[in-house]
Each structure stands twice: as structure tokens, then as C-alpha cells.
Structure 1
Amino acid sequence: MAVSDAWLGGLYGLLIGDALGVPYEFHRPQDIPPYGEIEMTPPPGFRRAHRGVPPGTWSDDGAQALCLLESLAVCGRFSLEDFSRRLSDWYQSGAWAVDGVVFDVGIQTGEALSAYRRGTPPERCGLLRPEGKGNGALMRVLPLALWHQGSDWELVQDAHCQCLITHGHPCNQVCCALYCLAARALLRGEPPAAALAWAVSTLRELYREMLDYAQELEWSVRPDGPWEGEGSGYVVDCLRSAFMLLERSDSYEEAVKGAVLLGDDTDTTACVAGGLAGIRFGLRGIPRRWYDALRGKEAVEELLARL
């Protein structure tokens, strides 16, 4: 497969956005430092989230995305069983966590992976909370879009399936599918507005006979209105926030700093928005100071060599 500047921008954009957002997580927008002071190391006096975590460290978002990319590289296709096993290895022993330390995990994800370890089939683990609609599957799905060589429908099916181990509700599946289609269009070089419009129209066509999924797209995601979000952990709001930032930003830096300025779930919003912005602006569009500050790059480079 071709690993282009846009491809690398997507992967590193995800990881760097995640790491940038980690120290600002759980803060209200009014408590976030000004735009010019948002960096991997927050300004003096700022009360950091995860204070024991060194700057430049990705969180559960990046680790789970790398579990997915490794699974795809090893299996040559999406395998729910293999991917679920790798997520369990991350949760239990720190696989793909920087320094092997798992310092952040969503409640629903933790419950689902604990159930998987006890023997619950992966298809059922993500429905232990039937109405669970956190962004835990959306934050990790981008490697699927980067890797996938199949049809749009095959990409959508795999995007649905990767949700099942932790976030099985159809709303989560729809958000991941729409995100992957948007990433596919950006990889073709389409500008943001055109990429998002194509993704919506394509998904509508694919969902013509899937009424439950079509309803989630139209009633929950609401793709006909302007893309606006508040940076929360709700999967629809996270998706809408990322699309809003993609459309409004003229650089990678502007997109991920904008995500942090929303407050709340800053690492995941910056991760989800950063992956798309990384594709749009390429690896060369990511500030070098952030790339240099990212910890754990050596393991990522080894994985890329295996691709």
C-alpha cells in the first residue's frame, strides 16, 4: 500500500492531537489557556489532567488506534476476534501504551473488555450498556480508513464491526462509518466541504435498506445542518466537533488547538479532528516541535515498516 504524506499525516495527526489534548482534559472551556499558550507542556500554573503523565504521551485513543492498525497489518483484513484480543492486551498489560502505562480508559470500554476477558463473545461486549454512545470507538477507527483497499460498502461494514467489542449501539457504528468515508475522500484530495458532502450522500445510499442505521444518520447525526459541536464525549457531538474544526481550520495546528479550546474531552476531540486535519495538511503540515515531542514514535515506525 502507498504510505503518502497524507497517510502519515492522518496517523501522526491522530497521535499528536491525542497527546496535545491529554493535559487539558476535563477542563471547562473558560479554564483552557489562550490559543497561543496551548502546547504539549501547558503554561506554568495550569492544573494539568493526568499530572504524572509526561508531555507528549498519547492516551487510550492512540493506543487503541495502534492496536487496530497492528491487527490489520498482521491479519491482512479486519478481524474482530484479533482486534478484540489486542484491545484486551492493551487494557491488561499496556500493549501500545507509551511506557506500557494505561492511565485513562472509558467506563464502558473497561466494562466491555473485562467482560471479554471473562469469555463474553466480542459481538456482545459492546452492548452491555445498550444505550452507550460514548466516543470510544470513533477515536480509534481512522487506521481502518487509512489501510482499507475495499469498496465503500466494505469499508462501512468494517467500520461498523470494529465498534462491537466496546460500543455496539448503531449510533456509534454510523458515526464511525461516516468518519471513515470522510477520511477516504480527504485521502483522494477532496477539500473538506466536498469530502463531507460525499461521505453523507454515499452513506445515505448504502443505508437505503437499513432503516435503523438510516434513522441514526438522519435523526442523531443530523448531517443537513451546519457541523457544530461542543467537544463532549458523546459520539455524535465528537464527530460533529471534528467536522466543524476540519471545515473552519486553515492548518493542522488551528484544528487541534481549536479542539482543545472546546474543553471537556480534549484529548479525544483533538485526536478525532487531528486525524482528519493530518490527512488534509499532510505530515509536513504538522508542527515539527510537536512531532519531535511525541513519545513512542520508535514503535510506530517499526509498525509502519511492517506495512
Structure 2
Amino acid sequence: MLNKIKGALFGLAIGDALGGTTEFLTKVEISQKYGVVREIIGGGCWRLEKGETTDDTAMTVAVAKGILKNSEDPIEAIGEEFLKWYETRPKDVGMIISTVLGTFNGSWFNSAEKAHYQLLQERSAGNGSLMRCLPVALFYQNLKKVETVTRDQSNMTHFDPMAAEACVIYNRIAFHVLHGKALKKTIQDEIKGTIYESSISGEKPACPPDGFVVNTMKWVLYWLLTSESFSEVVIGATNEGHDTDTVAAIAGGLAGLSCGYEAIPNNFKNKLLLKQELEQLAYELLQGRN
């Protein structure tokens, strides 16, 4: 179990660190500038240090810490971690999340609704709640509790139900893989009857891998269903262009969960600047699981 939980957290962070280099570039621009990015090298638009991660990992850590503080009703504790992180003035904060955190009025759900209607032109179906939701599935042993907390943590910042729906599907997959089911079969089972059912075909999505949660999820499913290794998942997402850090992080989380920490190449694991914190967090999630 620890191997899987560590694999999930490290897989997400590795995808984030890899994709941070190529974020906002097109596939052609990446090829012209880097050839193929196969290693964690830093740089990019955020001028990352080698092994540095972005908001995807930071907010995932925040969700995990909030759950560990108050597992019965973690939303306020998660929110405290969000605000604490936001106060550090991080390099990379998504527009929807920045809008909600910057106008937080004491109620997460009310703040998200107000931002959706008054500040975001009713466009809050971003991938920012999907990128951070994985710790919910790693911690809770009851699937209904996983679904409830997953939906609530999404609704804290993303009022559009499409965001919460993607999070719930993703964490249902994660829950079943954590408990022994095969990743590809689980994906196929969980997306049947949803807007993502067409992904079962394995064809490349006709949409860009951008910040719209539906597009992000389609690309995440594509990489997971068509790749044969962890490296293939995160390298593929990193070199496809657009919102590369988030797509690679979300896909990398499930790929790392499936293969386990020990199977992730050392050249990725050892470069992460947050390596020790992620190891400790994985251990605490395992010890506190309920």
C-alpha cells in the first residue's frame, strides 16, 4: 500500500516537474526548442529549478495536509492550507483558483459561486480541482466518502459541475487501482456511460490538451490507455504541448499509483526537490487511512 501511495504522489510530482518545462508551448514549439523532453530539466516559462514543481503538486500537498488535519470534515482545513500556500506568492496559480482565493469571503462554496457568476463569466470548468484531488482516494477507505470529499474539494474553487464530475471519475479509478484492480480495465469500466466513454477507443482526442477540464481529462485518459509504462505516460503528455504540467501531473498520478513507487525510474524520483516531503506525506496518509 505504501508503494502505491508513494507512487501516486511521486508520479504526480514528476509529471508536474517534467511538464513545467514545456507549459504553454505548442507541440511544434517544444520539438523545435527541445527535441523531446525526456528528463526533468527545469526552466520553461516559470524558470523552474531542476526538480521544482508548480501549483499542481503544491495544491495536492495542501489537500493531503488538510485531510490529515481533520479527516471527518476536511474542507476548512484544506482551505487553510490553500490560503497558506497562496500567501507565499507562488509562481504559478491558475486563474480560477487565484480568483477564488483572492476574493475568499469566509465561505468556500459561496466564494466559488460568486467568482463563477460575477468574475469568471460563468467559466469555472478548469482543471485546477482535478489536478489536486488524488489524496482523497489515497486516504479514505470508503468509496462513498471518497466521492463526497472529492466533490466538495472541487466545489471549493470550481463551481461548474463538470469539474467535480471529472474529479469523481478520476478518484473512483484511483480508489479501485489502489485496492488492486488493473488501471486500464478500471478506466474502461468507470468511463462507460459518461462523456468520456469515447476515450475507450484509444484514439487521440480531437481537442487541445488545454485547461478546460473535459479536454484535460480526455488527454489524461488517452495517455493512460495507450501507454505501456510510467515514463511513456509522462513524457508523452510533456511533449504534446499546452497545459503540459497539469496533464502530465494528473496522468502521472494514476500511472505512478498503478506501477508503484519502486517501478518509477530513479532518474525521475531523485531529481524532485520535494522528495523528502512527499515520502513523509505518503507515510502519514498510510498511517492515518480511514
Q: Which TM-score band (shorter chain)? A: 0.7 to 0.9
2:129 touches 2:153 (CA, 8 Å); kept in 1? yes
1:125 touches 1:164 (CA, 8 Å); kept in 2? no
CA distance in 2, matches of 1:280, 1:104: 28
Structure 2 residue aligned with 1:180: 171
Identity of aligned residues (%): 28
2:10 touches 2:278 (CA, 8 Å); kept in 1? no
Query: Which among 67, 78, 82 is matched to residue 72 of structure 1?
Result: 67
Structure 2 residue aligned with 1:86: 81
Report matched runs for 1:94-133 at 5 Å: 102-116=90-104, 119-127=105-113, 128-129=115-116, 130-133=122-125
CA distance in 1, matches of 2:198, 2:238: 26
Query: Residue 275 in 1 paired to residue 228 in 2?
Result: no
Structure 1 residue aligned with 2:270: 292
Q: Residues 143 and 88 (structure 1 numbering): CA distance in 2 closer, same or farther, change over 3 Å?
A: same
Q: Residues 233 and 178 (structure 1 numbering): CA distance in 2 closer, same or farther, change over 3 Å?
A: same
**Quick one: which amino acid aligns to residue 238 of structure 2?**
V
**Quick one: which amino acid aligns to residue 252 of structure 2?**
G
CA distance in 2, matches of 1:200, 1:255: 19
Structure 2 residue aligned with 1:209: none
Task: For structure 1, list consecutive stretches of 5 or more residues without a partner in the other structure.
Answer: 95-101, 205-217
Aligned residue for 2:180, secondary structure, equals coil
Query: Residue 31 in 1 paired to residue 5 in 2?
Result: no
TM-score, length basis structure 1: 0.83
Deviations 1:199-219 (A, max 9, x none): 235xx6xxxxxxxxxxxxx4x
RMSD: 2.0
* Regions of 4+ moved over 6 Å: none
Task: For structure 2, list consecutive stretches of 5 or more residues without a partner in the other structure.
Answer: 117-121, 286-290
Structure 1 residue aligned with 2:141: 149
**Quick one: which amino acid aligns to residue 122 of structure 1?**
W
CA distance in 1, matches of 2:57, 2:16: 7
Deviations 1:5-38 (A, max 9, x none): 2221111101111111111100001122477543
Query: Residue 223 in 1 paired to residue 197 in 2?
Result: yes
**Quick one: which amino acid aligns to residue 253 of structure 2?**
G
Aligned residue for 1:56, secondary structure, equals coil
Structure 1 residue aligned with 2:41: 41
Q: How many residues align?
A: 273
